[in-house]
Every structure is written in structure tokens, then in C-alpha cells.
Amino acid sequence: MQRSFSSYKEGDLAILELPFTDLIGKKLRPVLILSSEELNHISADLIVAKISSSQQLPDFELK
């Protein structure tokens, strides 16, 4: 059973099915929910940040 977006809160961690950049496949990935609970109640979209251990953009290092 898939969880509805309205049950997510900003700051929640979740496992969601994310598409590959070529949109051919998809995979379960951990994400951090960024959108507010209020937005999640009224929108069909969910704003998330993918959590990854790989360093893909070293020029944009966060400190």
C-alpha cells in the first residue's frame, strides 16, 4: 500500500521509487522530504532531496 503525500511531513525520511535520468527505469531510494505538510495536503507533487553516499559534484561541495 502506497502512502499518500498528505501523510508526509517536512523533514521526514522516506523510501520512494525514483526514476533514472533516462526515464527508462526506476529504483527505490532514500529521500528527505522538503515540502511542507500544508503543501503536501494540497499538491499532487512532493518536493524531496535524494540521499546518496556517492560524490557526484565535487565542485559544489557543501561546508
The answer to whether position 11 is within a domain reads yes
Q: How much is the pLDDT for 2?
A: 46
Classify 18 as helix, strand or coil.
Answer: strand
pLDDT in tens, the chain (63 residues): 344 566 888 999 999 998 888 889 999 999 999 998 888 888 888 899 989 887 666 666 666
The answer to whether position 23 is within a domain reads yes
The answer to whether position 43 is within a domain reads yes
Q: With CA atoms as reference, report the closest residue to 50 among 7, 18, 9, 6.
A: 18
Give residue 16's identity as a one-letter amino acid code: L
The domain containing residue 47 runs over which residues? 5-52
| Interatomic CA distance for residues 61 and 44, integer angstroms | 32
The answer to whether position 57 is within a domain reads no
Number of structural domains found in the chain: 1
Q: With CA atoms as reference, report the closest residue to 7 among 31, 30, 40, 35.
A: 40
The answer to whether position 40 is within a domain reads yes
The answer to whether position 39 is within a domain reads yes
The answer to whether position 48 is within a domain reads yes
